[in-house]
Amino acid sequence: MAVPPTGRERPIAAEAFLRALADHGADYFFCNPGTDFPPIVEAFARAKKTNAKVPRPILVPHENLAVAMAHGAYLMNGRPQAVMVHTGVGTANAVNNLINLSRDRVPLILAAGRTPITEKGSFGSRNRPIHWAQEMFDQAGMLREVVKWDYELRQPAQTGDAVARAVEVAMAHPRGPVYLLLPREPLSAPLAEPIAPAKPRPQAAATHPDPKAVATLADWIAAAERPLIIAATLDADAVPALGHLAERCAIPVVTHSPRNVCLPSSHAMHFGFEPGTLLTDADLVIVLETDVPWIPHLQHPPAGCRVAHIGEDPFFVRYPMRSFPSNLAIQAGANHALTALSAAVEPRLQMAEARIAARRARLTERMRTRRAQLAKDSAAGERISPEYLSRAIGEALGEDAVIFNEYPLRPDHCPREKPGTLFALGPAGGLGWGFGAALGAKLAAPEKFIVTTLGDGAYMFANPTVSHWVAGKYELPILAIVFNNSRYAAVRRATMSMFKDGAAGENDGRGLADLDPAPAYDEIARAQGAYAERVDKPADLPDALARARDAVVDGRRQALLNVITPY
């Protein structure tokens, strides 16, 4: 049977699926197909003939990269994203970045085929040996912990409702991925009714804070001698609100494990990325959208210091263990919370102006020292240091470049003034994210100059052949900068932190961290059509960065710099 028994005059469920995704705002359909996809292929082919509204299909020959691309696209357009993969095996390949997206609260509809249910007798019944071995007792079981919802389509007529429900749950705050299983039989079944356009369901706005809790925190701010704000990730609309509160009350802000621009680098209260003595001397710490404000094993606020947590989920309820001290929790969108806090604190500041002025003077001095130290740390040396490379990137690429950093960029040395110009690997740290996220961002925001900074390890995790192929195929000119130290420095650091004096330390902690001999990453990229250079000397770096930028921005070519930076 080549076509459903009813023929082509009736739509099949796969057409309703694609149409519903498009109606609910998914612009792209990132996918890596298999034998579960024929109804999808048929639906796209029919849509082409009839001009039906469907997302743009983007074939990505590795699932992990497809999920990373969806993340990058979401960061640019804020809309729900769709990825579809092949049964359980494709799902398994997607789980690493799915964990990243889950912790980063990305509304992804991850769909997967399911091996045909029937062994014979139905349109779509099993017709390959793999259809037996690929069946799982609980395909969603492998990712249920990291999705908010999972569902298997059983009735073709329910397709539109299943997509609507998936999107509704994914977009509800805190956002996150959902999983929809699509067996071949219902997906290829004809529908009794024509496909009706779907109306996106209303989304709830971010919550407002409890006024009583805001008043309490405003009292604490007005009374504090050494307050500190720690932030990790903020929506762009909350950045000015944080800037205002920090400036008005002279509260230093530290971005611990930064995942986006929480405050412009030049802000007078931007005190970098390590809490240090600002934390250990504090009498009030405001933890703003931060899962890990400090590392308790290494440092902590002093006894008696008040700690307040603010966020849409200030308790990080899906983290199995998390025990930071807390005297107050405010569950709210960051923008609403900060705006309310600024308004509440203002009338309380009259009594505190002298204290604030003295603190501001102290902090201004501290900032002077900090900036002088940063300039020293990023000065050119005999070899390219990651600090020097980070500064050169910031200077060469301009303030509008959007950087996706998978670890190596030193944010202290690469100033970012505008919200939305730096994104970093999420808190779960699953490698193989940055290149894909940058490609997805370029797809969704073709007018932007998109850059990814990767360790050589992270570059290999990205499936470079797939990444360069996608960049070429879909004409996504982005710049990849590889911080090539021929090692997993993070693994070596971890070893040294525990066994510096052990046998592993005798080898400088290099066991299982050595990536020598480093492949010629520039040649690999060139073979796939990229503009590429290897850079060894500090003096050559600014011009090499400028040439690569021109290749991307003017030449509209993908580019890669293989920068040799021992660390």
Ligand X SMILES: Cc1ncc(C[n+]2csc(CCOP(=O)(O)OP(=O)(O)O)c2C)c(N)n1
**Cα–Cα distance, 312 to 173 (Å, whole number):** 7
CB of residue 295 vs ligand X: minimum separation in angstroms? 16
Residue closer to ligand X by CB (options 184, 492) is 492
Q: With respect to ligand X, which residue has the nearer C-beta, 17 or 407? A: 407
What residues pair up with 299 in beta bridges, in sequence order? none
Please give the C-alpha separations between residue 37 and each of 85, 124, 547, in angstroms, as whole numbers. Answer: 9, 11, 42
Residues that bind ligand X (CB under 6 A): 96, 407-408, 429-431, 455-458, 485, 487-491
Residue number of the CB closest to ligand X reads 455
Separation between Cα atoms, residue 396 and residue 529, nearest integer Å: 23
Nearer to ligand X, 162 or 409 (CB): 409
Short-list 424, 480, 489, 423, CA closest to 452 = 480
| Distance of closest approach, residue 483 Cβ to ligand X, in angstroms | 6
Residue whose CB is less far from ligand X, 265 or 453: 453
Nearest-angstrom CA–CA distance, 205 and 207:
6
Distances 86 to 136, 138, 372, 480 between C-alpha atoms, Å? 13, 15, 54, 29
As measured in angstroms, the least distance from the Cβ of 213 to ligand X is 36
Residue 450, sorted as left (phi over 0), alpha (psi -120 to 50) or beta, turns out to be beta
Could you tell me how far CA 509 lies from the centroid of its own chain?
Answer: 30
Least gap, CB of 504 to ligand X (angstroms): 16
Least Å distance, CB 165 to ligand X, is: 31
SS3 193: coil
Give the residue with the Cβ less far from ligand X, 305 or 458: 458
How far apart are CB 456 and ligand X at their closest, in Å? Answer: 5
Which one, 265 or 405, has the nearer CB to ligand X?
A: 405
Could you tell me the smallest distance in angstroms from the CB atom of residue 53 to ligand X?
37
Cα–Cα distance list, 281 to 155, 275, 284, 303, 375 (Å): 61, 10, 9, 10, 26
The residue type found at 364 is T
Query: CA distances (Å), 264 to each of 239, 253, 261, 450, 452, in order?
Result: 8, 11, 7, 19, 20
Number of C-beta neighbours around residue 32 at 10 A: 21
Report the nearest approach of ligand X to the CB of residue 518 (Å): 10
Q: How far is Cα 42 from Cα 393, in angstroms, rounded to an integer?
A: 46
Q: Cβ of residue 91: shortest distance to ligand X, in angstroms?
A: 16
Give min distance, CB of 385 to ligand X, in A: 13
Residue 449 vs 459, nearer CB to ligand X: 459
Cα 422 from Cα 448, distance rounded (Å) = 13
Nearest residue to 75 (alpha-carbon basis) of 436, 416, 332, 322: 436
- In the complex with ligand X, the residue whose CB is nearer, 433 or 469, is 433
Cβ atoms of 517 and 554 within 8 Å: the answer is no
d(CA 65, CA 62): 6
Q: Given the complex with ligand X, which of 21 and 482 has the nearer CB atom?
A: 482
Nearer to ligand X, 374 or 491 (CB): 491
CA distance linking residue 167 with residue 109, whole number of Å: 7
288 three-class SS: strand
Minimum separation from the CB atom of position 386 to ligand X (A): 8
Which is nearer to ligand X, 388 or 488 (by Cβ)? 488
